[in-house]
Structure 1
Amino acid sequence: MAEAAGLAVGVVALAGLFNNTVECFEYIQLGRAFEKDFKTTQLKLDSCELRISRWGSSLGLNRNTLPAEISIDMFGSQSDVDHSMKLLTQILELFAEAEEVSAKFKSRAESGSNELAICDPQSDLDPSLLNLHNQIRTLAIDRQKKAGFKRRAKWALYEEKRFRRLIEDITELVGNLEGLFPAGTIIQQQLCEAEVAVVGKSEEVNLLKTIAAQQDKLLEAALQTGDGGPTTQRVEFSGDRNEGFQLGFNSGTISNTFGKSGQ
């Protein structure tokens, strides 16, 4: 009983960290140094936000009120919850460090310098990609716990190498988070299917597939399946020589011939 109560307290704290982390993505802007590859860079940032929002949602961390009883099977142990809090804290620290570097960059730049100009998704993305960007952001924001967060000032990333390292580090940490709670994997897959239902018809879906292949394997698999790509197939036979009762699941098409050759 005491263990469950302690775990519940830990999950409440974890939910707060999760929501703060998702919110951090909303304050990041990209400098004009990214203008040439702005659509790819912005979508990488959006995809990263979508993945972490899915992880938290799969565990119920976005609920306004947590369930009366915390599932030990879902959250593992107190040690796992503590570890996940450390991982989320690391992500928040990465954002804080990137924001600090941004502030130093601004202080060194000349006043009015074009170096400090900002890309604006609303005006700098073509309509099809802007629609995809807005769809992803809406999915992620809707997965936040509905609470009155204090609005923060937006800040910008100006250097490509800093952005690349930030995305790589966050991607690795989110992968570690997912590995801590395997009980949420099936729910994450279902959430991916819901995401594909929203974004899968976008003209820019191929670009999203490319990015997902680097950052989000679950989304990549869901996009492939939603596009008629590889599917999971399983067939079992009882009896010898492929004869007898067949038990199987197929989400695609199977073509086969049974019996002796020539028959």
Structure 2
Amino acid sequence: MSGLTALSAPGLFLTGVRYFELIQLGRNFQDDFGICVLQLRHVQRRFYRWGESVGITDQESPAYRLATHDRSDDLDLVDETLEAIVEQLSRAQKDAAGYARRLTKTSLGNAVEELDILDEDAQLASDTSIGSRSATRLRNSRVGKAYRRSLHFGDVLTGRTQWALYKKTEFSDLLTKITNLLNELEKALPGKLEDVARVDAQQLLVDQDGVEAPAEEVGTIIDVSVNTDPVFSAALNSITAKHGHVFESMIYKGYARAHNGDNYATIPIGGVASSGTYRKIVAGGNSRTHLGNNYGYAQQSSLLLQEDHSARNSGSEDSIPPAEGLAEDL
């Protein structure tokens, strides 16, 4: 990518920030918009968190220079990885623009509707699914907002055209590639990554007024972040394991499938897992519910999680599909 090699790591990082700030999603994402936004914003925050953990604030970034003193070998890998992340974002933007041009030239009417861009604020506000509520929880929390403001990129973005992803396959492919690159970036130069992730987790779980996030939303965020943001997921699990969850006044009807608890691929080190308190849980009809944690849970290989829209929580809200083999509700 011409010109990028002349940029320092802070410059490459801030270029990546600008790409992330301008991403939107097209009409094809409407059915599971909340989950897709949640995945996208997890990856975005993970990228920003790395910058925060190593002290990047601007192009010069003296804190970053101090954090990387005498680490020339690591810096070469950091520069290469940041350049690869920016390259992936740039390529995705160009591919999406090319797709839009081709579709506009060769199609009429209803096909062009595929290029409609979904307004993130309006879409999340009008959708009561657990995915959208969880995405709204992450967006409205204090997570990363102070650092985001410190970058002062608002003026740079003024007048820039937002860009959209139109296909779910390209969306999943982009997030997978960037997630893999972030794994390399964090390994090469972790900085204060775990400390920043712990603060993020605390700010998500309890807002500035001391109100705790609903357990169902936290559970969905953990499920998604296991794939997209494992350091953050571990921080959330660590805190919730100490404080536990409270599930109260939940109703499952019809063919609802529900799991109220956490998922663990293996039994946590030391045998410590999250606790749960259950009050006024009602299940009827042909619904199946699981109260408690799952152990030996197999994570989905795809980044794109599918919601079960036939499952209703409290009569109107989507519940989370359970793992296979849950016992019938009594």
**TM-score, normalisation: structure 2:** 0.60
Residue aligning to 1:162: 170
Residue aligning to 1:33: 28
Shift in CA distance, 100/64, structure 1 to aligned 2, threshold 3 Å? closer
Shift in CA distance, 119/129, structure 1 to aligned 2, threshold 3 Å? farther
Matched, 1:223 2:236: yes
Deviations 1:85-136 (A, max 9, x none): 1111111111111111111211122365211112222111147445324236
Give, in whole Å, the separation in 2 of the partners of 1:91 and 1:52.
Answer: 10
How many residues matched? 223
Q: Which moved more, 1:124-133 or 1:103-112?
A: 124-133
Structure index of larger Rg: 1
> Where is the strand percentage greater, Structure 1 or Structure 2?
2
Moved over 4 A (4+): 229-233
Q: How does 1:1-263 map to 2 (within 5 A)?
A: 13-62=8-57, 66-67=61-62, 70-71=65-66, 74=68, 77-109=71-103, 110=107, 113-125=112-124, 126=127, 128-129=133-134, 131-135=136-140, 139=144, 142-143=147-148, 145-147=151-153, 148-151=155-158, 152-182=160-190, 184=191, 187-200=192-205, 201-203=212-214, 204-228=217-241
Q: CA deviation at 1:195?
A: 0.9
Identity among equivalent positions (%) equals 28
Give, in whole Å, the separation in 2 of the partners of 1:199 and 1:83.
Answer: 32
The one-letter code of the counterpart of 1:120 is D
Q: CA deviation at 1:76?
A: 5.1
Give, in whole Å, the separation in 2 of the partners of 1:86 and 1:173.
Answer: 10
Give, in whole Å, the separation in 1 of the partners of 2:45 and 2:63.
Answer: 27
What residue ranges of structure 1 are gaps of 5+ in the alignment? 1-9, 234-249, 253-263
SS at match of 1:227: helix
Deviations 1:41-89 (A, max 9, x none): 11111000111111111110126864489447x4552232122111111
> Where is the helix percentage greater, Structure 1 or Structure 2?
1
Give, in whole Å, the separation in 1 of the partners of 2:135 and 2:187.
Answer: 32
**TM-score, normalisation: structure 1:** 0.73
Deviations 1:171-198 (A, max 9, x none): 000110011124x1xx211111211122
Q: Does 1 or 2 have the higher relative contact order (CA < 8 Å, sep 6+)?
A: 1
Shift in CA distance, 75/31, structure 1 to aligned 2, threshold 3 Å? farther
Give, in whole Å, the separation in 2 of the partners of 1:124 and 1:164.
Answer: 20
Kindly indicate whether the alpha-carbon contact (under 8 Å) linking 1:87 and 1:177 is maintained by their aligned counterparts in 2.
Answer: yes
